[in-house]
Chain A
Amino acid sequence: MNLGFPLFPEQASTMAARVDVLFYFLVAVTAFFAAVIFFVIVVFAVKYRRRSDDERPRPIEGNFWLEILWSAIPLGLTMVMFVWGAIIYFDMFNPPNDALEISIVGRQWMWKAQHAEGQREINELHVPVGQAVKLTMTSEDVIHDVFLPAFRIKQDVLPGRYTTLWFQATKAGVYPLYCAEYCGTQHSGMLGRVVVLEPAEFEKWLSGGATGMSMVDLGESLFQRFGCITCHRAGGTSQGPSLVGLFGKSVQLQDGKTVTANEDYIRESILEPQAKVVAGYQPIMPTFKGLVSEEAILQLIAYIKSLNAPERKPAQR
């Protein structure tokens, strides 16, 4: 049936079908109750219409069991909706461990992406079919939002913090990316395209790319260029702790608190080094605010993450 407009976006991710089924359930419940109420009102309004001016209906106070019934049934239905929706939500926020990692930096009014292999894209995202992809995102200015309707997901992109989004595309094709948090004049122009390629095509696209330096390599060269290596050697120095094996671990801070060394922690340590000083060290690390871009920070994070692995691939120069 061609209505001249679509009723549903394409289902192009593993989540899409799950979300749609839940949606159908809610549509069914809504349609059912709306129809029941509508029907009952019309029937009552007609059946009990006023036939003479001096009609005096018998008063009915209420009915305890009816109140229980029409409280319990909606409560039961909403609890089903809650649990079902919560399970999907939880899965939406838990990317698989083998997800392909891509960094996204949003700014008024464009999207910048960088693949682990170093490929950069503007307002476009090439990904393979059948492979989980995890986006690590931040904004350079105001709050934006990455919305991928064909995949049924979205997540706000915040300044000063990282948020993540993951999906696994199930169909090759080109799908829209919208900014879904109002961000100023060109908010509605901040569009992108997600290009989903068959795995072979995707490999071809990757290797056809520019520099050849992966994010890890770029991060390593920044690590040396900015002098981080001076204090943060493997094995550590008296000035700064070693970063090998750091990512994802618990860190004991000077004030007794413990934090997890995640992306936000590393970013904060680069920009506000005094905020969370590691126990046993002096607050002498200088700030790199204004010296490193958001993309550079993401490359440094990629490098530091790579220090967890026992041996690295040799850098390709």
Chain B
Amino acid sequence: MNIPDIERREHYLNINYGIRSWLFTTDHKRIAWLYLLSVTLFFFIGGIFATLIRLELLTPQGDLVQSETYNKLFTMHGVTMIFFFLIPSIPAVLGNFLVPMMIGARDLAFPRLNLASWYIFILGGAFTLMAAAAGGVDTGWTFYTPYSSIYSNTHVVLTVVGIFITGFSSILTGLNFIVTIHKMRAPGMTWFRLPLFIWAHYATSIIFILGTPVIAITLLLVGLERIFRLGIFDPALGGDPVLFQHLFWFYSHPAVYIMVLPAMGVVSELIACFSRKRIFGYSIVAFASLGIAVIGFLVWGHHMFVSGQSVHAGMVFSFLSMVVAIPSAIKVFNWTATLYKGSISYDAPMLYALGFIGLFTIGGLTGLFLATLGIDVHVHDTYFVIAHFHYIMVGGSVMGYLGGIHFWWPKMTGRRYPESWARLAALIIFIGFHLTFFPQFILGYIGMPRRYHVYPPEFQVLNVMSTAGASILAVGYLLPLTYLIWSLRYGAVAGRNPWGARGLEWQTPSPPPTENFERTPIVTEGAYAYEKDPEEIYPLGKPAHV
């Protein structure tokens, strides 16, 4: 097959052209692309902030930027990366593209709501970028009161309005996923035949809809307090600043599971495909996803062990935080066991998946350090915490995202990316990542606090190591940007199922037609029937309605 063949067949990318066909689309696959472009933009914006931070931290003195600017840089880095990259990335890009396809549906339950979600995301992002352009905000992404509600002289209101608006994008996406997964599964697609990617997104959507409204109202109250001097969080007026922390972390802790659960869903798909085996302990892994989502709502106080919270509350939260680690551990063991007696290939998506397991293991275990009360008192608000969450979010979520993008790239574009470059990039990212963040564990334990613009000279060597690693990491991220764009024009044409995977999405052409399936599939097997031929599993279904 050659290039003209793709153009001759009608599919979702060429069915119509022009900017209006994209900006007014209700096709979940096109909306996924809209998100892909947006989150990539935000990732690189957040990355520029990170670059400036790491450059400043090469020396103990504050010689690159002034303190006020530095404080804005780490705030904007956190806000951009968390709210505008990590939270939407996998669900809004891969989830939007794949959830209907994996369950055999033609679209999500509410396609117009899906488009509205994207517009809301862009509107929220615009407000936040406006705040950045107007001078930025310097409260930290955590907006602790009373600094954020009274003392800061920066664009707090504009930023919280942006985040408030974007929250609705999350809520609507979660709502869409839940209804779709409940009501639009193809005939025969029972709950326990669903791919684990779907279970992961279902669990994530529960967090979206129950958690996001709380951060919305919390930030709204901070905004109102700033504008009208209300006094809800102001101790001088009888308010309680620690109450803000409870409200904030009630969402923001489950938010980290929003960031990691979808990546775990991706990893399940990749491990299964590149071992050619069903995931070991499928139903346990499915329940573990739900367990993480539920218990994740009960542990927020582990961010507040030294906040003035009572000792007894601290003990309860520490205990529950240990419990929430167990389902994640179970997943790691199940993925590893899947490799046993499998047929393992080393394509780039698999390298990302294996890298995820390794980095997530370290990141998750260092979470136990933070859940352990006696240790957390020492390392809270130090670089140890920064290292921990970057291991999970960058070593985990970003690796999962990249692995998923590479895996489903042929399906989304009809093209293959250059495999050698992809493997090289995965390796560079893995090495650069360790070099950047491992030294930060040490920095934290020896006492370097976080959010420090200037620091005592004894911390310099480790900071230099970390910046050096970051430069390698940056190269690693620029590579996929380059060769993925290159592949759109020059990549080898992909067939229907270049990886030999199972899953309904691989049974349609690459790229798929707008309606996803030529005929509605009828499902008779579980998700990872790698021991059977694809033709055995997918008999012809009834013609799809048009």
Contact = CB atoms under 8 A, between A and B. Distances in A.
Interface of A: 3-9, 18-19, 22-23, 26, 29-30, 33-34, 37-38, 40-41, 44-45, 48-51, 55-63, 66-67, 70-71, 74-75, 78-79, 81-82, 84-90, 92-93, 108, 141-143, 145, 147, 149-150, 152-156, 158-161, 163, 176, 178-189, 272, 275
A82 B236 contact: no
A220 B305 CA distance: 36
B343 A48 contact: yes
B307 interface: yes
Nearest to B149: A142
Contacts of A61: 278, 280-282
Contact of A89 (B282, B339, B377): B377
18 contacts: A7-B442, A9-B445, A61-B281, A62-B281, A62-B284, A63-B280, A78-B326, A92-B374, A142-B150, A147-B381, A154-B378, A180-B380, A182-B139, A184-B152, A185-B138, A188-B451, A188-B453, A189-B454
A38 B329 CA distance: 14
B442 A5 contact: yes
A86 B318 contact: yes
Interface stretch (B129-137, B155-163, B356-364, B481-489): B356-364
B147 A67 contact: no
A159 B461 CA distance: 36
Contact of B341 (A30, A50, A57, A92): A57
Contacts of A41: 336, 339, 354, 357-358
Given A5-B442, A61-B281, A180-B450, 7 more contacts: A6-B458, A74-B325, A75-B326, A152-B377, A156-B308, A182-B140, A187-B452
B378 A153 contact: yes
A141 B330 contact: no
Interface stretch (B6-14, B365-373, B419-427): B365-373
Contacts of A180: 380-382, 449-450
A48 B280 contact: no
B428 interface: no
A90 B372 CA distance: 12
Contacts of A178: 447, 449
A86 B336 contact: no
B167 interface: no
B113 interface: no
A66 B365 CA distance: 20
Contact of B308 (A23, A30, A150, A163): A163
A150 B71 CA distance: 26
A19 to B, nearest CB: 6
Contacts of B68: 185
B308 A161 contact: yes
A158 B140 CA distance: 18
A71 B277 contact: no
B378 A50 contact: no
B30 interface: no
Nearest to A90: B311
Interface string B321-347: 011011001101110110111111110
A22 B140 contact: no
A51 B315 CA distance: 52
A263 to B, nearest CB: 13
Given A56-B531, A67-B330, A159 B235 contact: yes
A134 to B, nearest CB: 16
A44 B339 contact: yes
Contacts of A188: 62, 67, 449, 451-455
B349 to A, nearest CB: 14
B343 A33 contact: no
B220 interface: no
Nearest to A23: B375
Nearest to A72: B326
A19 B384 CA distance: 15
B143 to A, nearest CB: 10
A12 to B, nearest CB: 12
B443 to A, nearest CB: 8
Given A61-B282, A159-B235, A23 B445 contact: yes
A272 B336 contact: no
Interface residues of B, number: 96
Nearest to A272: B238
B460 to A, nearest CB: 8
Chain B interface helix/strand/loop/mixed: helix
B375 A22 contact: yes
Contacts of A19: 374-375, 377-378
A142 B146 contact: yes
Given A78-B368, A85-B375, A145-B306, A186 B67 contact: yes
B456 interface: yes
Given A82-B319, A176-B447, A178-B447, A60 B375 contact: no
Contacts of B282: 61-62
Nearest to B324: A78
A142 B373 contact: no
Contact of B144 (A22, A37, A74, A143): A143
B374 A89 contact: yes
B275 A48 contact: yes
A92 B278 CA distance: 49
Contact of B71 (A44, A153, A154, A187): A187
B530 interface: yes
B377 A183 contact: no
Contacts of A152: 377-378
B277 A59 contact: yes
Contacts of A49: 343-346
B362 A86 contact: no
A233 to B, nearest CB: 30
B123 interface: no
Contacts of B365: 26, 29-30, 33-34
A30 B314 CA distance: 23
A137 B343 CA distance: 62
Contacts of A45: 339, 344, 346, 354
A22 B374 contact: yes
Nearest to B459: A5
A56 B326 contact: no
B275 A182 contact: no
B495 interface: no
B359 to A, nearest CB: 10
Contacts of A81: 322, 368, 371-372
A71 B311 CA distance: 28
B144 A79 contact: no
Nearest to A79: B322
Nearest to A32: B365
Contacts of A50: 276, 343-345
B94 interface: no
Contacts of B456: 176
Contact of A22 (B236, B276, B308, B372): B372
A156 B374 CA distance: 15
B228 interface: no
A86 B311 CA distance: 9
A78 B322 contact: yes
B140 to A, nearest CB: 5
Contacts of A154: 306, 377-378, 380-381
Given A45-B339, A84-B374, A187 B451 contact: yes
A149 B531 contact: no
Contacts of B52: none
Contacts of B314: 89
- Closest 8 pairs between A and B when the two form their complex, measured CB to CB: A160-B235, A149-B447, A88-B374, A89-B373, A85-B372, A78-B322, A188-B452, A62-B281
